[in-house]
Structure 1
Amino acid sequence: MVIDATRQTPDQVGSGETGRSSGPLPGLLLAILVAIPATVLGQFFPVIGGPIFGLALGAGCAILVRRIAGPKVVEHCAAGFAFASKQVLKVSIVLLGTGLSLTQVLQVGTDSLPVMLGTLAVALVVAALLGRLLRVDSGSGTLIGVGTGICGASAIAAASSVLPVRQVQIAYAMATIFLFNVVAVVVFPPLGHLFGLSETAFGVWSGTAINDTSSVVAAAYTYGAEAGDHAVIVKLTRSLMIIPICLALVVWQRKSAARAAGEPAGTSWWRIVPLFILGFLAASAARTLGLIPDSFVDPLSWAATFCITVALTAIGFSLRASAIRQAGPRPLLLGLFVWLAVAVSSLGLQAAFGQL
């Protein structure tokens, strides 16, 4: 996994081609406004979800605004789109921590941890190696590997908050994860019956090889109630992998930048750990200690998803058709191979550990 330190910095990402803007408020409000109908659509079509609708609506609205009012209107909102695509994403990660009880993780994680760690390693290695062979840029390859290996949109959101990636790379990674989530919802239950998987085994398989929570729920509960309950906990446990992966990416990026500049790579730990990761840990600890009541979990989870939807809407507004055409189909092909590798390795690891 190679991070190109010469790409745009976070301050440059989403700033538009000209950089002209009147501050973050107009773009942020516009992203929130469009994210509301995207969230409503996501409620009606949970397998697609609000974030993907937000990405699509943002891109569509940007085209209409450019044609009707001219490109300067979108440029006027560029700072707000950049703020939403970075800072609002970080808020969403902190909010996701409020739904993660470490007690639940310990109950299920002991048996499923080897499978989760194994599939994560497979995702990252396959993404790195095949990404080079397919000539996929390192930013897209990293986001696809992290998103497939951990937890889809949430992991991509976290990784994009610590890496200097472009909007089109985030959008492509999100779209890739979404596509194979939908495929998994359709094909996993019949394959599980064909393979004769127990409900527990299917829960581990779907919890490790499907990324988005709504897709995990749709596939696993179709298979059975026990499979669904088990899959959700496995999926939540996978979310913890956000922490070490983000820290590793920050260290990798800093070392790459230091080597490029000919400077020492060492740095203090408090400069490495992103604040939103500390917030995620604090929120999870509060949930574990019972400081966050059960009645608050669903509203906070909704708020986290809405923040991701706002961020993806802003990214949609910032996309350029030329950048999407330039990326081509190779990231999608990489996503397919990584997803297949994770699905196969999940079953293989369960068989190796006597869990099938």
Structure 2
Amino acid sequence: MSARRFLPGLVVLCLGAVLARGIELVLGANHLLVAIGLGFVLANAVGVPDRLEPGIATHKLWLGAGIVLMGASLTLDTLLEAGVVVVAVIALVTGSTIVVVELLSRNVFGLADRLGSLLAAGSGICGVSAIVAVGGAIRARESQVAYAAATVLLFDAVTIVVFPIVGDVLELSGTVFGIWAGVSMFSTGPVVAVGFAHSDVAGQWATVTKLARNALIGVVVLGYAGYYARSADGSRPTVRTLWDEFPKFVLGFLALVLVATAGVLSPDQLAAIENAYNWLFVLAFVGLGTEIRLTELRKAGPLPVLVVLIALLVASTLSLATLSVLL
């Protein structure tokens, strides 16, 4: 595959990143949120030509690379400092979200079982990635996968705006805000964006918390596959399937944490790595903005949106109350 087919889209990502940084210098707006806004405008007001699609689609790669490099700015001591709290809150919020969505979907709003499960996985674990993984394991219809994905994308777009406002109004500390965003929001990109929009500390904790939550995807896929395997069309995921869905950049992130803990990096090297991952995040968020399509968001009907909204309100309130007590 020719590398040149990626070049036009990569140029657009780079121009968007530089423009976002420039707007921050002139207007004071956070460059990560500006980057998402620029991508959103490009996709919805102008449209993304086919020749730009391959390069812009690499934004997930840059996000993963940025997260890996961010590991160099953390040490095991830092992670263990609030590790027990993070694990406890993740378990509490993830479990409550999945249960609330399943109960509302099946017993209150009468949604199809598989659609409810897709909504539960997407809002409880890691957004569209979890929806796709669980959808394959339980053989959900493509229309159900698309419906659930559109609903989650709608909340990704809303929470990118709402969470920073709530954090400012409540004057949350960087640690509390970061963990709160990491356990409450749905997709990795928006979580990292709002975390670093708040502060570096919040960005680091938001990312770490979200990665820990994402790691539960294998457990959730196995659980749903086992449940639906009782029906004739159920299927069990293979080890290869679980490995394919596992976010590999988590391993790179942990490797860099170990390197940082060993103290082998100089202050200049750490500063260079921090500058690199900051730029990678800006590139990634320009591309992330192009994923928020108004045409797709309109497909999310009122009932799935209402189910996920109630679950989000329960999870975010529960997690914030818990964090306020424990931290």
Query: What TM-score does the superposition give when structure 1 sets the normalisation length?
Result: 0.61
* Aligned partner letter, 2:10: I
Match of 2:35 in 1: 50
Q: Return the alpha-carbon distance in structure 2 between the equivalents of residues 242 and 297 of structure 1.
A: 24
In structure 2, relative to structure 1, the CA distance for the partners of 1:35 and 1:110 (3 Å cut) is same
Is 1:59 matched with 2:44?
yes
User: More helix per residue: 1 or 2?
Assistant: 2
Match of 1:278 in 2: 248
Contact 1:123 1:339 in 2 (8 A): yes
Is 1:236 matched with 2:199?
no
Contact 2:17 2:283 in 1 (8 A): yes
Q: How big is each residue's C-alpha offset from its partner over 1:177-200, in whole Å with a ceiling of 9 and x where there is no partner?
A: 3423422322344445xxxxxx7x
Equivalent pairs: percent with the same residue?
A: 17
Match of 1:105 in 2: 79
Unaligned runs of 5+ in 1: 1-21, 66-73, 147-154, 193-198, 222-227
Is 1:186 matched with 2:171?
no
In structure 2, relative to structure 1, the CA distance for the partners of 1:90 and 1:129 (3 Å cut) is farther
Aligned residues: 289
1:121 to 88, 95, 116: 95
Q: How big is each residue's C-alpha offset from its partner over 1:286-328, in whole Å with a ceiling of 9 and x where there is no partner?
A: 3422377422133134324523533552x45xx583x543323
* Aligned partner letter, 2:91: L
Contact 2:195 2:204 in 1 (8 A): no
Q: How far is 1:337 from its partner?
A: 2.4
Match of 1:145 in 2: 124
In structure 2, relative to structure 1, the CA distance for the partners of 1:91 and 1:31 (3 Å cut) is same
* Aligned partner letter, 1:274: D
In structure 2, relative to structure 1, the CA distance for the partners of 1:208 and 1:275 (3 Å cut) is closer
* Local SS of the residue matching 1:92: helix
2:275 to 290, 295, 298: 298
Higher alpha-carbon deviation: 295-304 or 257-266: 257-266
Q: Return the alpha-carbon distance in structure 1 between the equivalents of residues 289 and 152 of structure 2.
A: 12
Write out aligned runs for 1:1-356 (5 A): 26=5, 28-29=6-7, 31-40=9-18, 42-43=20-21, 44=24, 45-46=29-30, 48-62=33-47, 81=53, 85=57, 89=60, 92-100=63-71, 101=74, 103=76, 104-132=78-106, 133-134=108-109, 135=111, 137-138=115-116, 139=118, 142-146=121-125, 155-156=126-127, 158-159=129-130, 162=133, 170=149, 172-191=151-170, 202-210=173-181, 211=185, 212-218=191-197, 229=201, 231-251=202-222, 265=236, 267=238, 269-274=239-244, 277-290=247-260, 293-294=269-270, 295-307=272-284, 309-310=286-287, 312-313=289-290, 315=291, 321=295, 323-350=296-323, 355=326
* Aligned partner letter, 1:54: G
Contact 2:153 2:297 in 1 (8 A): no
Higher alpha-carbon deviation: 303-312 or 339-348: 303-312
Q: Return the alpha-carbon distance in structure 1 between the equivalents of residues 61 and 282 of structure 2.
A: 12
Q: How far is 1:215 from its partner?
A: 2.9
Contact 2:215 2:247 in 1 (8 A): no
Q: How far is 1:260 from its partner?
A: 7.0
Q: Return the alpha-carbon distance in structure 2 between the equivalents of residues 92 and 307 of structure 1.
A: 5
Q: Return the alpha-carbon distance in structure 2 between the equivalents of residues 334 and 177 of structure 1.
A: 15
In structure 2, relative to structure 1, the CA distance for the partners of 1:266 and 1:214 (3 Å cut) is closer
Unaligned runs of 5+ in 2: 136-141, 186-190
* Aligned partner letter, 1:50: A
Q: How far is 1:282 from its partner?
A: 2.8
Q: How far is 1:41 from its partner?
A: 5.5
Higher alpha-carbon deviation: 332-341 or 257-266: 257-266
Match of 1:14 in 2: none
Q: Return the alpha-carbon distance in structure 2 between the equivalents of residues 156 and 348 of structure 1.
A: 23
Contact 2:69 2:256 in 1 (8 A): yes
Contact 1:205 1:343 in 2 (8 A): no
Query: What TM-score does the superposition give when structure 2 sets the normalisation length?
Result: 0.65
* Local SS of the residue matching 1:265: coil
Q: How far is 1:38 from its partner?
A: 4.2
Q: How big is each residue's C-alpha offset from its partner over 1:196-245, in whole Å with a ceiling of 9 and x where there is no partner?
A: xxx7xx555422333434434555x6xxxxxx74x445323303324422
Q: Return the alpha-carbon distance in structure 1 between the equivalents of residues 232 and 2 of structure 2.
A: 32
Q: How far is 1:118 from its partner?
A: 1.7
Q: Return the alpha-carbon distance in structure 2 between the equivalents of residues 203 and 121 of structure 1.
A: 25
Q: Return the alpha-carbon distance in structure 1 between the equivalents of residues 100 and 54 of structure 2.
A: 31
In structure 2, relative to structure 1, the CA distance for the partners of 1:306 and 1:142 (3 Å cut) is farther
